[in-house]
Amino acid sequence: MDLSERIKIITGSIPADVNLVAVSKTRSIEEILKVYEADIRDFGENKVQELIEKHDNLMDKNIRWHLIGHLQRNKVKYIVDKVHLIHSLDSVRLLEEIEKQFSLKNKIAKVLIQINIGREESKSGILEEDLINLINEVEKCSYVKVKGLMTIIPKGDEESSRIYFKKMKSIYEDLKTKSYNNVKMTYLSMGMTNDYKVAIEEGANIIRVGEGIFGKRIYDI
Q: For the chain, which residues make up each domain, given as ranges?
A: 3-214
pLDDT at residue number 2: 84
Q: Among residues 42, 102, 55, which one has the least CA distance to residue 77? A: 102
pLDDT at residue number 218: 61
pLDDT at residue number 221: 40
pLDDT at residue number 3: 87
Q: Can you point out the beta strands (E) in the chain?
A: 19-23, 42-45, 64-67, 85-89, 109-114, 144-150, 183-189, 206-209
Residue type, 218: I
Q: Among residues 128, 143, 132, 151, which one has the least CA distance to residue 182? A: 143
Q: Is the pTM of this model over 0.85?
A: yes
Q: How far lies 209's CA from each of 125, 127, 190, in Å?
A: 19, 24, 10
From the number of C-beta atoms within 10 Å of its C-beta (0-12, 13-18, 19+), residue 113 rates as buried
CATH class of 3-214: alpha beta
pLDDT at residue number 216: 83
Answer whether 160's CB lies under 8 Å from 197's CB.
no
Interatomic CA distance for residues 55 and 140, integer angstroms: 30
Other Cβ atoms less than 10 A from the Cβ of 37: the count is 11
- Collect the ranges in the chain with pLDDT lower than 50: 220-221
